[in-house]
Amino acid sequence: MTLLPQELIRLKRDGHALPPEAIEAFIAGLTEGRVTEGQAAAFAMAVFFRGLSLPERVALTRAMTRSGTVLTWDLPGPVLDKHSTGGVGDTVSLALAPMVAACGGYVPMISGRGLGHTGGTLDKLDSIPGYATAPDVDLFRRVTREVGCAVIGQTPDLAPADRRLYAIRDVTGTVESLDLITASILAKKLAAGLQGLVMDVKAGSGAFMASAEEARGLAESLVTVANGAGLPTRALLTDMDQPLASAAGNAVEVAYALDYLSERRREPRFHAVTLALGAEMLVLGGLSADTRDATARLEEALASGRAADIFARMVTALGGPADLIEHPERHLPRAPVIRPIPAPTAGRVVAIATRYVGVAVIGLGGGRTRPQDGIDHAVGLTALAGLGDEVGPDRPLAIVHARSEAEAARAEAAILAAYRIGAEAPAAREPILERVG
């Protein structure tokens, strides 16, 4: 059944189910330029309000997957990946890909740009001078085969319909749609030819799905659709009521990941989430019998330096500097204004409106308000205080990295509004909330 784009939009706007062939035709039109940006935005908004049934969700995912090349692999180990639904200070991918590769997996990770208030792995990698975030498919294959992992963005060949719709969702208030998130994530992963996928589904004030119930629904959607499409998938629900790392931005998060891999810094919450996701990947790929063994192998990959070495080799193979891990200060951009954000009063951090920490980074220029906007990779926040941390004259809420004093002042106001200080620390919340699948 072929429908004009406006007719398909009208049907979904009015709550009707869309035939699979109509969805296929709409996505083909989006890929080929016959569907306009306005029509794609209207479709996204109709889906946001009306939702998709499971068959519609599967049809949309398959259509977006088939909008470009679907990779196949012939490698001596399992082809695995991890994907996060997005958060603040979530730079796990940069550390986890080389850790899993050091344990015998192959990780061809296709990442996205920032979406809404959350940072994007691809924008972070663009902080690295010379690093090719959009290599051709042959280079992507070669680096994955020879190094063990390659973290890149969508090439023009892989799920091109998703790339276009992704940018439109970012600036039209339709990011949080469970249906569109599911199709967007899985289209890229299915196109990458994976044999196993672990999802990190965030819940909390900095997540797209703020409640555990909403996050569980998304996790179940992802696991159901992915397994139905033949991709073995598991999901972890993880906490995003505070930034996962103490850094939020682009270059500052790359520096954080480098410190983690080289054992210069090892924050407990970030470490716990990284190990838990990696352990699920190793078990899913048959590289470990259980998560206890998998965790030990990942710890050893870090302690031995193999994970850091693989990351360095990946950066070099994709055009970046060979000494990035040893000397990040030589290569990563640095903001001209770097200063603390003092706490308004002494006490303990009792709550963080984490979403607005991410919004503050966008306000500094570290994210987008329009698809065509550029990004200032140098700006961001470091030394972010976490829940329960004691703050006061000797411990600021954060350190701001800004292009100007005026922008630093605006970020300071946003952070002061996002943090609540009290007398007693709140009850500790485990970073891993649930396992699905």
- Specify the amino acid at residue 321: P
Q: What is the DSSP letter of 36?
A: -
CB half-sphere exposure, 161, CA atoms < 13 A: 30
- Exactly one of 61, 81, 162, 202 is catalytic; which is it? 81
Give yes or no: 184 in active site. yes
**CA–CA dist 399, 247 (Å, integer):** 9
- Exactly one of 31, 184, 274, 354 is catalytic; which is it? 184
Structure tokens at 287: 């590289």
- Exactly one of 83, 297, 331, 348 is catalytic; which is it? 83
- Residue 79's beta-bridge partner residues? 106
- Exactly one of 62, 141, 188, 377 is catalytic; which is it? 188
Name which of 216, 235, 229 is nearest 61 in CA terms: 229
Burial of 15 (0-12, 13-18, 19+ CB in 10 A): exposed
- Exactly one of 65, 91, 121, 233 is catalytic; which is it? 121
- Exactly one of 57, 117, 164, 169 is catalytic; which is it? 169
Cα–Cα distances (Å) from 399 to 337, 421, 434, 436, in that order, read 10, 17, 32, 36
Task: Determine the 3-state secondary structure of 350 from DSSP.
Answer: strand
Give yes or no: 84 in active site. yes
Task: Determine the 3-state secondary structure of 111 from DSSP.
Answer: strand
Give yes or no: 82 in active site. yes
Cα–Cα distances (Å) from 142 to 75, 134, 139, 251, 396, in that order, read 11, 14, 5, 26, 45
DSSP 140-168: HHHHHHHHSEEEEE--TTS-HHHHHHHHH
- Exactly one of 57, 124, 163, 189 is catalytic; which is it? 189
Give yes or no: 81 in active site. yes
Q: Are strands 380-382 and 248-249 parallel, antiparallel or unpaired?
A: antiparallel
Give yes or no: 345 in active site. no
The 3-state secondary structure of 317-339, one letter per residue = HCCCCCCCCCCHHHCCCCCCEEE
**CA–CA dist 353, 117 (Å, integer):** 12
* Catalytic annotation, residues: 81-84, 121, 169, 184, 188-189
